Structure 1
Amino acid sequence: MESGVEFFLQSVKEICPNVTDNELREFASKLTIEELNKKDYFLQFGKVQKAIGFVTSGLVRSSFIDNVGNEITVGFYSEGDYATHYPSFITQQPSKYSIQCLEPTVMVCLSYESIQWIYEHLPSFERYGRLVAEEILKRQQARIESFIFQTAEERYLDFIKHRSGLFNRISISHLCSFLGIERQTLTRIRQKLAHQ
């Protein structure tokens, strides 16, 4: 458990190198640890996200149900990623997404109330909040633009390039859903690339 908190605090220090040890200790006192089993939900559709989660071990998947009942995968979050539906978290409104564990997962969590307290009492952490929010926004924008500007093959190649470590950890159906393609299309893309 301690190593998970250390891993998280190290990532915070990389974002905010100027925080003092005292500030970091106070920040750390607001953290909680959540241990989840495979298939457990960190966030369920229609619920308010009470805490932002930093994955220290494991893998989770974010998804929603479309208007015809299909489950669509929108993200995978592994070690070092924030598992959050950020708009739900910052507005404290019900989420349109679910976040479910694909593996046993440990998260370091920071509640909405704690983060507001931190911003008020430890102003140097406002930079942390801003940069994490910017990173989440960049990822969401990149995903939207991948569907506007890239072909299915380009999205697949992009996934291989940036998330290759996830290949053996996720199912083909979740990958296809994430890429927005049918299984047969993925098979065709793979066969084509194998012959290049």
Structure 2
Amino acid sequence: METVINYLLQFGNLNPQQIDFLTKKGKALTLNKEDYFSEAGRIAKQVGFILEGILRVCYYDNKGNDVTKYFIDENHFVVDLDSFDNKIPSSGYVQAVSNCKLIIFSKRDWEDIADTIVGWERIINKIIKKSLIQKIERRSPLVAEDATTRYLAFMETYPQLVNRIPLSYLASYLGVTQSSLSRIRRSISYK
């Protein structure tokens, strides 16, 4: 829980009583590789903080293809915010790419925290803003580039993720086939 508290303290102040209150609300959760944190068609009922592992946000297109939108790694919150806040079924999935350890907060506990801790909404809004900016920065340069450039940019930006993500998920994220990504990786390794 200390990792969660240290992360939150980057965005605002918490006194010892607030930290104690938060600590009592968080619960440990372990996800095995390929388990779902949240699923399409269901209402998201928890917020998670990733201590170890990688999750991916994905959906199935109208042809049944599995499409990865982005990855979330350690020291980040994970939630389908629209589903969680508005109590509507999720349109996508959040799935474990690797074995994961998280601290989770139920909807009720999250609301208790918001009702109890003065300034909580301000802290969360700063986290959401940072997350949205990161999401835009991740996707924007990838849209107009060729596949090799997209892969090289991903490797440069996320060197800690490249060897931890299955090739199929990375290919989906980059918008290429798995065989194309294999060719790109081979051609780069020969240079």
Question: Scaled by the length of structure 1, what TM-score is found?
Answer: 0.86
Show the counterpart of 1:105.
Answer: 100
> Which position in structure 2 is the counterpart of 1:76?
71
Does the residue aligned with 2:104 lie in a helix, a strand or coil?
strand
Once residues 37 and 193 of structure 1 are traced to their aligned partners in structure 2, the CA distance between those partners, rounded to angstroms, is: 32
Change (3 A) 1:187 1:35: closer
Residue 56, structure 1, aligned to residue 51, structure 2: yes
Seq. identity, %: 27
Instruction: Tell me whether 75-84 or 64-73 shows the greater mean CA deviation.
Output: 75-84
Deviation (angstroms), 1:148: 3.5
Instruction: Work out which of the residue numbers 5, 19, 30 in structure 2 matches 1:9.
Output: 5
Label 1:146 to 1:56 Cα distance change in 2 as closer, same or farther (>3 A): same
RMSD, aligned α-carbons: 2.0
How far, CA to CA, are the matches of 1:109 and 1:24 in structure 2? 15
User: Could you list the runs of 5+ residues in structure 2 that have no partner in the other structure?
Assistant: none
Say whether residues 1:127 and 2:145 are aligned partners. no
Pairwise CA distance, 1:191: 4.7
Alpha-carbon spacing, 1:34–1:44, altered in 2? closer, same or farther (3 Å): same
Structure 1 distance, partners of 2:183, 2:96, is 29
Return the TM-score normalized by structure 2.
0.88
2:146 to 120, 133, 151: 151
Please state whether the residue corresponding to 2:18 is helix, strand or coil: helix
Counterpart code for 1:7: T
How far apart, CA to CA, are the structure 2 residues paired with 1:194 and 1:39?
Answer: 29
- Residues 92-127 of structure 1: CA deviation (Å, up to 9, x unaligned): 211111112222211111223322222222122222
SS of 2:41's partner is coil
Instruction: Structure 1 unaligned segments of length 5 or more: list them.
Output: none
Deviation at 1:188, TM superposition (A): 4.4
Question: CA offset at residue 15 of structure 1?
Answer: 2.0
Are 2:158 and 1:163 aligned?
yes
Instruction: Give 1:16-35 correspondences, 5 Å limit.
Output: 16=12, 18-35=13-30
Q: How far apart are residue 158 of structure 1 and its match?
A: 2.0
Higher percent of residues as helix: 1
- Residue type of the partner of 1:59? I
SS at match of 1:75: strand
Q: CA deviation at 1:46?
A: 0.9
Structure 2 distance, partners of 1:150, 1:52, is 34
Indicate if the aligned counterparts of 2:97 and 2:166 stay in contact, CA closer than 8 A. no
1:137 to 110, 132, 135: 132
CA distance in 1: counterparts of 2:75 and 2:83, whole angstroms: 21
Q: Deviations over 1:138-180 (max 9, x none)?
A: 2332344234443333321221112111222111111110111
Aligned residues: 191
CA distance in 2, matches of 1:90, 1:155: 33
